[in-house]
Amino acid sequence: MSTRILGIETSCDETAAAVVDDGAIVRSSVIASQHGLHQPYAGVVPELASRAHVERVLPVAEAALRGAGVGWRDLDAIAVGSRPGLIGSLLVGVGAAKALAWALERPLIGVDHVHAHMLAGLLRSPEEGGERLAPRDVFPAIGLVVSGGHTALYGVRSPVEFARLGATIDDAAGEAFDKAATILGLGYPGGPAVDALASTPGADDRRVELPVSRLGRDSLDMSFSGLKTALLYAARGVPGGPAPEAFTQSRRVNLAASFQRAVARAITLKLDRALDRAGEALGASCRAILAGGGVTANSRLRNELCELAARRGVRLVIPPLPLCVDNAAMIAGLAHHRLAAGLVDDLTLAPTPTTAG
Ligand code: KG4
Ligand code: ZN
């Protein structure tokens, strides 16, 4: 089934729109970041985010059409990230998508943002050569989402069937990176800054002993809040305890590298476990790991995921860096599969703060 879909994404602090053909070819992907707006608060302020989305959503959608060299009437469907996210932010994207779908008389497709992250590795630019993956090359798969709001493992039987196998019981990995950055005196969003610091030549990732949570022998859940507290104590000293080691640049570099090592270890440990159980979870042998979300941009995690996939003999499907973080191409990508499966919405589509699971 051939499709050309406009995707709209406003679930958090990026206003994004993209035009994607056939769930794979990204004709354009426009992202208006609000990082500058939220930087003074070291986190996203929901009311500021939704107001900024109102101003930007239509200009960003128009820019996506211009970038793709197509007109409104060339679109086959309008897709929108309708869950999970900040409710005020979601409302803006869902409202805009409904208006466009109604005015253009095109199907409306609400997409779960967390699920969309897992299919982002199937997207590519028109110039990119290389193999085009067919569903039989990829599904069934184990999905891994590691973002600022979510960290979870999934059994993915098809592009529209996701069953959660485990998830963080406290902070998401990206949230832990952002807090680690604050502890280390770096800016927001913290993940890229911690990554850069940890990649300093000479960084010693075993210098600081930090805990990797296992949560029991069988659990596929994860936890990052203890690690964050351990980093805080390692960096600043235990309350009432002896003064911490001087906060030199090399200490900071080693703390960042040790933290990043512990996060990557915690994630790959559970992914390895999920692969052990893939047969039972998927009812067939696993063909691929579908990884996505902002933290899959992390250099160390990417390397470890490549090694793990090679060791386990499964394909790693992971997006290029710009499609790891929030974007609208992944929304249009998943929408293609939903449209093909007849899973379309009507104008009663409501934004929902939680993921479908
Ligand atoms: O997927 P995303 O854009 O938004 C959510 O859906 O939450 O993920 C954003 C998160 C932020 O916490 C950011 O610090 C983290 O991804 N991130 C990274 C890197 N790039 C972005 N974390 C670690 N290393 C990176 N290179
Ligand atoms: Zn996201």
CA–centroid distance, 330 to ligand 2, in Å, is 10
CA–centroid distance, 147 to ligand 2, in Å, is 6
pLDDT digits (tens, 9 = 90+) for 197-243: 999 999 999 999 999 999 988 999 999 999 999 999 999 887 777 66
Transcribe 240-267 into DSSP letters. TSSPPPP--HHHHHHHHHHHHHHHHHHH
CB-ligand 1 contact for 195 (6 Å cutoff): yes
**C-alpha–C-alpha distance, residues 205 and 258, integer Å:** 4
pLDDT value, residue 242: 65
43 pLDDT more than 80: no
**C-alpha–C-alpha distance, residues 309 and 288, integer Å:** 8
E-strand ranges in 199-356 read 288-292, 315-317
CB-ligand 1 contact for 294 (6 Å cutoff): yes
Cα 129 to chain centroid distance, Å, stands at 25
Which is the closest atom of ligand 1 to the Cα of 117?
Answer: 1
pLDDT value, residue 248: 87
CA–centroid distance, 123 to ligand 2, in Å, is 16
Work out whether strand 315-317 and strand 288-292 pair parallel, antiparallel, or are unpaired: parallel
Residues flanking ion ligand 2, Cβ below 5 Å:
147, 326
Is the separation of the CB atoms in 84 and 149 below 8 Å? yes
What average pLDDT score do residues 321-329 get? 96
**C-alpha–C-alpha distance, residues 322 and 29, integer Å:** 10
| Cβ within 8 Å of residue 34, ≥6 positions away | 13, 14, 15, 44, 48, 49, 52
CB-ligand 1 contact for 189 (6 Å cutoff): yes
pLDDT digits (tens, 9 = 90+) for 234-248: 998 877 776 666 678
pTM: 0.95
Burial of residue 354 (CB within 10 Å: 0-12, 13-18, 19+) is exposed
pLDDT value, residue 243: 63
Q: Provide the 8-state DSSP code for 131.
A: P
How does residue 192 score in pLDDT terms, banded at 50, 70 and 90? very high
What average pLDDT score do residues 119-147 get? 90
CA–centroid distance, 7 to ligand 1, in Å, is 20
pLDDT digits (tens, 9 = 90+) for 247-256: 788 999 999 9
E-strand ranges in the chain read 4-9, 14-21, 25-33, 77-83, 108-112, 141-146, 151-158, 161-167, 288-292, 315-317
pLDDT digits (tens, 9 = 90+) for 295-319: 999 999 999 999 999 999 999 999 9
